[in-house]
Structure 1
């Protein structure tokens, strides 16, 4: 096999809670993660090694992203090839579609695709657990992205429990023309002073029961307390989605992307037109749960 192509799906957080800041600086979280139908496409081709060492070549169709160790794709490939003693080279091409710096784990999802892609390309026989154990060295969201689907995420994001998928629904996803630093958001979050926390346990129960109303009624993200204060447009987008028929709307991750859940594609399509007309978001999608 000389070529492998993988889709890297974006994620949203149906619920995101931060319990505390740990002594090591990481934050302990409790959240429900969900993949959605927006994806990047990565193609892997076998290349030539250099002087007995693996050679990694990365090509990206976005000027916003680096093609060296500053990209999680490159770092994931390097880690895998060093760990498993791969001597052949690899040429990786990324077709970017997931919004960048958007709170949708685009970089982590791309890195996860590298694990699946190189595992198949080089016949490494990594299990899902092997990939996740190695993937956490690249980023806290990578183990989830390797697994995908619907999951309860705890610890710093690496403790994962699969849960029942939500019932089918349409999603409107909108990213305003701003980029948000995850580091900034967490540095300015004071978890010990939060007055309200989303009902993550109740969310998991609603998922198990297949209750869309139970899910939308429990949507919450404590990081909004930081990001919306700095970028009020996020609140505006949420309000517009709800005013145009969303069961509820929420910021994903550290933002600035907002998603609204709709009971029908037609209703989501109408909300898309309203959002597009107002010009508050640069990237807008109608999609669904994956």
Structure 2
């Protein structure tokens, strides 16, 4: 038996870091929403008791470093599943991009294997397991739009933002999230107004949302990788309604309402950045597989 599962990317409309916690993680408050750029996973049951990861992307590990592998292993161990699974990952989300591609693959694996292995777990139970794998996995189990707190694993669902285009541009570099957080000085950066963003999303005010985007990690990543700041400036110059780095970067996204302007910005960015995408904001929750 096999199953196909989608794993959509996320962007951060607002990302604040409040403090360094005693457990070494950072206390965050952020707004995440899903976009229509997705990896596709094929899960195929194996009679042999093993986990197999297959991908044509050379940057995707095929062992326990892969978060989808970790998700399958966690379910097998926790629920004494003696069958194996072959997971084929067709990547569309850039790797190490600040778009939660690996976390979304793990979440899709949890949702898919829940169905394939007939485990009968709820979305909340799957999200709890996801928190053991990585901070963004809980959100990716649900998808949609949410306020994430704690280290990112505490999820409060809110309504979807108004639909719009999301243009993504990723330079040919990877950014280490751990390194960005190591270089973050919480008392020396500009903190976004997350509450204001929540109000504008709930009231569906597109202009207010555009004026409230903010990411406390931008300043750190820009210092480490000036080319990310350059992409942000170019996207602004081309006329995006709002521009922000997603997560710890290096992907920069722009929100755009009008089709004609979207095409102009997309074509302008393609001139100097290889990985450029124009997708729609999803913002609605996933249905459990």
What is aligned with 1:192?
187
Q: 1:238: Cα distance to partner? A: 1.2
Task: Show structure 1 runs of 4+ deviating over 6 A.
Answer: none
Residue 215 of structure 2: which of 193, 216, 221 is its match?
221
CA separation in 2, counterparts of 1:7 and 1:266? 29
Instruction: Please give the secondary structure, in 1, of the residue aligned with 2:172.
Output: coil
Q: 1:56: Cα distance to partner? A: 0.9
Instruction: Please give the secondary structure, in 2, of the residue aligned with 1:25.
Output: coil
What is aligned with 1:94?
89
* Corresponding position: 1:172 with 2:170: no
What is aligned with 1:12?
11
CA separation in 2, counterparts of 1:164 and 1:55? 40
What root-mean-square deviation, in Å, do the aligned CA atoms of Structure 1 and Structure 2 show?
0.8
Q: 1:265: Cα distance to partner? A: 2.3
* Corresponding position: 1:34 with 2:26: no
CA separation in 1, counterparts of 2:243 and 2:4? 33
* Corresponding position: 1:282 with 2:281: no
Q: Greater CA deviation, 176-185 or 261-270?
A: 261-270
What is aligned with 1:59?
54
What is aligned with 2:73?
78
Provide the TM-score with structure 1 as the length reference: 0.96
1:132-281 correspondence runs (5 A):
132-194=127-189, 196-277=190-271, 279=272, 281=273
CA separation in 2, counterparts of 1:146 and 1:111? 8
Q: 1:231: Cα distance to partner? A: 1.1
- For residues 221-248 of structure 1, the C-alpha deviation after alignment (integer angstroms, 9 at most, x for no partner) is 0101110011111111111111112111
Q: 1:103: Cα distance to partner? A: 0.4
CA separation in 1, counterparts of 2:223 and 2:29? 22
| Long gaps (5+) in structure 1 | none
Q: 1:268: Cα distance to partner? A: 1.0
What is aligned with 2:24?
25
CA separation in 2, counterparts of 1:193 and 1:202? 21
CA separation in 1, counterparts of 2:260 and 2:88? 35
Aligned residues: 282
- For residues 231-280 of structure 1, the C-alpha deviation after alignment (integer angstroms, 9 at most, x for no partner) is 11111111111111211100000000000001112211110111111x1x
| Long gaps (5+) in structure 2 | 283-289
